[in-house]
């Protein structure tokens, strides 16, 4: 499929998708969600892709949802548009492989919601973050009210959601919204370095640790521990045996 809003590169097991709507600071519209849904379906079937990176073109990661498209929607159409975005970002979140957000610039509104659906985020020192929906008399519609408290805690989340304050990369790092801040010219080098590091680990273990951690966050603690024990056990006659033997024999594992 030829994408209008996405630029896709796949190199040595690492997928890079760049949001590309430069005329609108990469603002999210219906076509973006349809294209991203299609792309994610392809990624889920492509066993050669081990890590996925998402970034934006130009000075924005994603500056928000496309207000020009939203302004005339009815309440029913607004609900449908919200569910479209929620479903796309949930599909992103549920990919088996790690997803890294490379936050190159403005990540506002729907852009921050997209970033939060990634497994973790590396930010340029020039990146800006915020949920400005209340400035428009709106609320987030792509699970921002749900993911933000889970990432940074309820009080910090409500502060950002209620004030619509735009914060810089260092403040985002302080509250746990991003995991590392680097200079703009080093962003992609750093993200690729992390992606390549992940590629050296047990690929099945990477998928399982993501699944158990994300699933366990939505479960009772004791049941989540049961899930961990079950998946821990499955690795003993799988990758784990090779990994542990390689450690004892002082060699690199043969995944």
pLDDT digits (tens, 9 = 90+) for 211-251: 999 999 999 999 999 999 999 999 998 899 999 999 999 99
* Residue 238: per-residue pLDDT: 87
Domains and CATH numbers, the chain: 6-199 (3.90.226.10), 203-248 (1.10.12)
| Catalytic positions, written as ranges | 113, 133
Torsion of CA 201, 203, 207, 212, to 10 degrees: -50
Q: Please identify every stretch of the chain with a pLDDT value under 70, giving residue numbers as ranges.
A: none
- pLDDT at site 1: 78
pLDDT in tens, 61-71: 999 999 999 99
Residues 198 and 185 sit within 8 Å (Cβ to Cβ): no
Please state the pTM of the whole predicted model. 0.95
Which of 65, 61, 30, 63 has the alpha carbon at shortest distance from 138? 65
- Burial string for 206-216 (b: 16+ CB within 10 Å, else e) reads bebbbebeeeb
**Token digits of residue 117:** 């659906």
Nearest to 25 by CA among 140, 101, 148, 107: 107
CA 28, CA 108: separation in Å to the nearest integer? 11
Dist CA 213 CA 76 (whole Å): 34
């Amino acid at each position: 499929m030829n994408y209008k809003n996405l630029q896709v590169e796949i190199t040595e097991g690492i997928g890079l998708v760049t949001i590309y709507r430069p005329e609108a600071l990469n603002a999210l519209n219906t076509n973006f969600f349809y294209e991203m849904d299609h792309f994610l379906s392809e990624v889920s079937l492509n066993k050669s892709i081990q890590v996925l990176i998402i970034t934006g073109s130009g000075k924005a990661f994603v500056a928000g949802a496309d207000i020009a498209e939203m302004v005339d929607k009815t309440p029913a159409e607004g609900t449908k548009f919200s569910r479209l975005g929620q479903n796309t970002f949930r599909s992103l979140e549920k990919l088996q492989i790690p997803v890294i957000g490379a936050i190159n610039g403005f990540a506002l509104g729907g852009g921050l919601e997209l970033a939060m659906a990634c497994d973790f985020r590396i930010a340029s020192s020039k990146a800006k973050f915020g949920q400005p929906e209340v400035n428009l008399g709106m609320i987030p519609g792509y699970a921002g009210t749900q993911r933000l408290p889970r990432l940074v805690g309820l009080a910090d989340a409500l502060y950002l959601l209620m004030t619509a304050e735009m914060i810089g990369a260092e403040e985002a790092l302080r509250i746990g919204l991003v995991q590392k801040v680097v200079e703009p010219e080093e962003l992609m080098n750093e993200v690729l370095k992390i992606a390549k590091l992940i590629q050296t680990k047990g690929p099945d273990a990477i998928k399982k640790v993501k699944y158990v951690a994300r699933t366990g966050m939505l479960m009772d603690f004791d049941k989540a521990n049961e899930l961990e024990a079950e998946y821990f056990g499955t690795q003993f006659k799988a990758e784990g045996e090779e990994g542990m033997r390689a450690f004892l024999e002082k060699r690199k594992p043969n995944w």
